[in-house]
Structure 1
């Protein structure tokens, strides 16, 4: 039998774009995939209800999983994956956005790569983006900061294919509750990627602005907070070593009488204060991380039920 696909689409007040996306899925996804596909719409407690029915879907069925409260995109994805793992047997699970920027035709590419790499999660890596220059510039900065603080490279977002044999592992990764791609990188579940071009939004205005991008970046970095804390501590120790070297130079200049009166003591004391502050803050951060690692974490596969209000089916 052909593989059963489930496409998980989290959405919040994006019904118009979602309807257009369903139509594009009907048009662009290979028929052998489409006829064995279930759409799972994770409604993140939308404040606006649907005013128009869903378009006729050429796959199996549409299900809408409504949440009790608005949790945000990443948590909605974690809940959708956990619900599928518990209630809907499927060989391949696709995660994509509702706005249409994840092109449905790329599902065919993900599925083709999954045939070659059946044990890996397959991400859609962005080859070309359509956002404005400012957004793209800050996105490049985000990727550079992420690599600097975590030692990992992130070139993809949520659009991905999860094979059934990895789903049960994934929904027990607590970090996907905070950031889905970051959680997969942290979990060491094997993954691969295919190059895709980001499409344009089908309807409405994007909810991703500068503030949202910063929060998204911080959430991705926070997933690897233990690595980040150690790197910051090492950087602090290196800066402390540089400060000590400068203090030695200042003392030497003062000893041979080439230092301006008052300059050496002022600069030296400033360097000592900065050195101690940076070291203590870094050390405090490391102890916070160690305390965090000793606590019981939120496991999506166990706790997702607390947020699910109801599940509706549409033929």
Structure 2
């Protein structure tokens, strides 16, 4: 589909939210690349909002006159990548006029040339949040292995399939609804899934970092995965509780088999029956305690007040700095 036909489905302004922590050099290269690989008709509609996650450094210069405007949302404290996205979306949702909004990273791994693909899919699916599904990645073998493990565990615990990250397009009419979803505070993609807003995905290749080194280490990757699972805590707790029930049933069956073998066979190994029965009883006790813990976690989750980004984002915003 031609670009001019795609853009007829969108207003004359498209916001781009970019969370950032000290990646000013990569941001400058990203902005230049956005201008270089996209048609001027598209770039003239882009309005950039950089969410500065309380960086310890500041930019020296940024490319000027790329898109309609560029503003920096300064935060009082470092809140992390996912929360920075939630604050940026909440700020835009608080403005009088609502526009389609693209979320992308500052390091260049979300390729600027794929913006058109997001818009094309969004035009074909009005009202849907459009995510970039990573059809091809450039990380090392170990990272890809752990990522496959993460997707498998996520599917087993939540019943959902997650193959996408933050790179996405949010329709204008869904922005305020999404800003009122408390779960995006912990994990933006998981929050969209939990919100039950319609979403789809388009397969796109992941790019390479433009400058600097990634600040994501193994610990932060694990925490990111856990935050995604925690967004669907209710479903996860139910599935874990069902697993505990299965373990109890299997253990009771095992005890029955042991008793039958002990009473009706001539097995002569001393103490084997009591040892196995004791082991099965430990499994039953552990399953009961885990189930009890899950009940308290879910009850606590349901009764505690929820953080609504749209209502409380002002507490984290120091100022909005307009660059041009």
TM-score, normalised to structure 1's length? 0.97
Partner residue in 2 for 1:279? 288
Work out whether 1:270 is the aligned partner of 2:279: yes
Contact 1:92 1:162 (C-alpha < 8 Å) held by counterparts:
yes
Partner residue in 1 for 2:50? 41
Q: Rate the CA distance shift 1:276–1:259 in 2: closer, same or farther, 3 A.
A: farther
Partner residue in 1 for 2:258? 250
Work out whether 1:54 is the aligned partner of 2:24: no
Measure the CA separation in 1 of the matches of 2:66 and 2:297.
51
The farther-off stretch of 62-71 and 111-120 is: 111-120
How far does residue 259 in structure 1 lie from its aligned partner after superposition?
5.2
Contact 2:244 2:290 (C-alpha < 8 Å) held by counterparts:
no
Partner residue in 2 for 1:75? 83
The farther-off stretch of 300-309 and 202-211 is: 202-211
Which residue, 124, 131, 151 being the options, matches 2:132?
Answer: 124
Measure the CA separation in 1 of the matches of 2:28 and 2:98.
23
Contact 1:230 1:286 (C-alpha < 8 Å) held by counterparts:
no
Write the deviation string for residues 270-301 of structure 1: whole angstroms up to 9, x where unpaired.
Answer: 11112111222122212321221122200000
Q: Structure 1: state its 5+ residue gaps.
A: none
Measure the CA separation in 2 of the matches of 1:285 and 1:159.
33
Contact 2:31 2:66 (C-alpha < 8 Å) held by counterparts:
no
Contact 2:98 2:175 (C-alpha < 8 Å) held by counterparts:
no
Measure the CA separation in 1 of the matches of 2:208 and 2:275.
56
Q: Rate the CA distance shift 1:313–1:104 in 2: closer, same or farther, 3 A.
A: same
Work out whether 1:136 is the aligned partner of 2:144: yes
Work out whether 1:97 is the aligned partner of 2:105: yes
Q: Name the SS for the 2:84 alignment partner.
A: helix
Contact 1:9 1:39 (C-alpha < 8 Å) held by counterparts:
yes
Measure the CA separation in 2 of the matches of 1:278 and 1:240.
7
Matches within 5 A, 1:191-230: 191-230=199-238
Write the deviation string for residues 174-229 of structure 1: whole angstroms up to 9, x where unpaired.
Answer: 00000000010011100011110000000001112222211110000000111101
Measure the CA separation in 1 of the matches of 2:280 and 2:45.
66
Work out whether 1:17 is the aligned partner of 2:26: yes
Measure the CA separation in 2 of the matches of 1:115 and 1:261.
73
The farther-off stretch of 130-139 and 24-33 is: 24-33
Which residue, 244, 269, 286 being the options, matches 1:260?
Answer: 269
Q: Structure 2: state its 5+ residue gaps.
A: 1-7
Q: Name the SS for the 1:274 alignment partner.
A: helix
Measure the CA separation in 2 of the matches of 1:91 and 1:49.
28
Q: Name the SS for the 1:105 alignment partner.
A: helix
Measure the CA separation in 1 of the matches of 2:268 and 2:311.
66
Partner residue in 1 for 2:17? 8
Contact 1:9 1:97 (C-alpha < 8 Å) held by counterparts:
yes
Q: Structure 1: which 4+ aligned runs deviate by more than 4 Å?
A: none
Q: Rate the CA distance shift 1:259–1:126 in 2: closer, same or farther, 3 A.
A: farther
Partner residue in 2 for 1:186? 194
Measure the CA separation in 2 of the matches of 1:168 and 1:259.
71
Write the deviation string for residues 137-193 of structure 1: whole angstroms up to 9, x where unpaired.
Answer: 000000000000000000100000000110111000000000000010011100011
Measure the CA separation in 2 of the matches of 1:13 and 1:259.
70
Contact 2:71 2:321 (C-alpha < 8 Å) held by counterparts:
yes
Matches within 5 A, 1:145-160: 145-160=153-168
